A = this chain, B = another copy of it.
Amino acid sequence: MNVSKPAALEDAKVTHQLAQFIVESKYEDLPSDVVKEASRAIINCLGCAIGAAQHDTVQFAVEAFEPFFGAPQAQVWGRSERADILHAALINGISTHVLDFDDTHFRAVHPSAPVLPAIFALAEWRQFSGKELVHAYVLGVEAEIRIALSVFPEHYDRGWHITGTAGIFGAAAAVGKLLKLNVEQMTWALGIAATQSSGLREMFGTMCKSFHPGHAAQGGMAAALMAQKGFTSSIRALEAKRGFGQVMSSRFDPAVITTDLGKQYEISKNMYKPFACGLVVHAVIDACLQLRKQHQLKAEDIASIHATVGPLVLELTGIKSPRTGLEGKFSVYHAMAVAIIYGAAGEDQFSTEVVCNPAVEKLRSLMEVKVDPQVRKLEGYVTIVLRNGKQLECHVSDALGSLVHPMSDEDLENKFKGLTSKKLSADTTRRLLDQCWKITQLNDISPLMRATAVL
């Protein structure tokens, strides 16, 4: 007889069901597009981390923790140091996120920063294969996104930085998969993660924002390592009255965590940022780049530029005359100017030097930006009037990097190169990218990790 159980009983098994799915999943279950997406996410993540590895935020963290590093088990990406896997996970989690240039799930969470640094460190130390790594990665992302969506957006609205609070489950699940935990151990790992889940949005604008995914990577890894040794936690950490969902959110929908597990993978909805600034200006950058390419546009031929954008753009990025690289990131005018002059809007184009370049300043002064509440977040209109009177127009309905218009593999390679060209030789870059594309053929990912070193 098929009697449906009351909801409360079903709820009682959420943590267990998720743990069971992770434990029982086989690499062969993963669709090929999911495996491919993992390579794309890995390239994006490593590029961001190597590019940011000398950032003050990373530097200060290394200085704070280096006296306590254990054996040199894993590479600190983009730097010379090697560290024990827990510290490597922490530092690499910080460097992946610090530029805010890492990947974004289309609804919530930067998926890779809490997960990849943890599993890459363990896999380097224990010489896991690329298939094992990709499998653990996909499952970790699945766990963190589903848990995030079970409390989103109320949890985020209350003030939690969900990349930290949900990310720690991703790291625990992924490391637990590599460690081949059984179901009971996996529920403990998720529980030990839950009881460390933290990260306040009040920290936005400070170094702590990128500390959150680093902390999640380290704490989630610790959770799995502890569970492996028999360290117990509640086996109902997600759904219990005093568990994650109900303590840390005003709404918790456990069905989001367990429905159709394995039938689709959240990694398929991952997005990569082509431009090193806030998403709201990506559409007009995209439009400027298209016009530049189509018309071999030169700044000196331009009389004026007119953009129509969504309602948040001037609120978030309305600085007309930025004076520093950081201010440049909050200037839609600067973003369009560099797209036209440099044909790019990467980290290099948001340096103070570029912001103060007279040619860029001149072009910014020729712009007018209007807000239209009907224009969507990743949409934008640009009209360029040339000195010869000709008008060029471009409407971008979904900016490059959106799910509708994703970055191509070549775009991702170019982003990687832009972030790392001053640090890695062309040879190393090519080797690294090739290894990432064929990661599932690698028997041991440690050579790939060592190639991320910058000496």
Contact = CB atoms under 8 A, between A and B. Distances in A.
Interface string A216-233: 000000100110111111
B207 A241 contact: no
A244 B63 CA distance: 27
Interface in A36-75: 56-57, 60-61, 63-65, 67-71, 73
A178 interface: no
Interface stretch (A137-145, A194-202, A300-308): A194-202
A244 B158 CA distance: 11
Nearest to A231: B60
A63 B229 contact: yes
B159 A242 contact: yes
A243 B202 contact: yes
B68 A247 contact: no
A196 B215 contact: yes
A424 to B, nearest CB: 27
Contact of A160 (B64, B199, B205, B247): B247
A230 B56 CA distance: 9
A5 to B, nearest CB: 22
A230 B206 CA distance: 11
A226 B208 CA distance: 10
A166 interface: no
A85 interface: yes
Interface string A178-196: 0000000000000110111
Contact of A208 (B61, B164, B195, B247): B195
Contacts of A397: none
Interface residues of A, number: 60
A241 B202 CA distance: 7
Contact of A242 (B65, B201, B232): B201
A211 interface: yes
Given A215-B196, A230-B56, A202 B236 contact: yes
Contacts of A85: 68
A86 interface: yes
A234 interface: yes
A159 B197 CA distance: 13
A454 interface: no
Contacts of A67: 70-71, 84
Choose among A206, A225, A230 the residue with the greatest number of B CB atoms under 10 Å from its CB.
A206
A212 interface: yes
Given A207-B231, A226-B64, A231-B57, A195 B199 contact: yes
Closest 4 CB pairs of A and B: A159-B242, A159-B247, A202-B242, A68-B84
Interface of A: 56-57, 60-61, 63-65, 67-71, 73, 84-87, 158-161, 164, 191-192, 194-203, 205-208, 211-212, 215, 222, 225-226, 228-234, 236-237, 240-244, 246-247
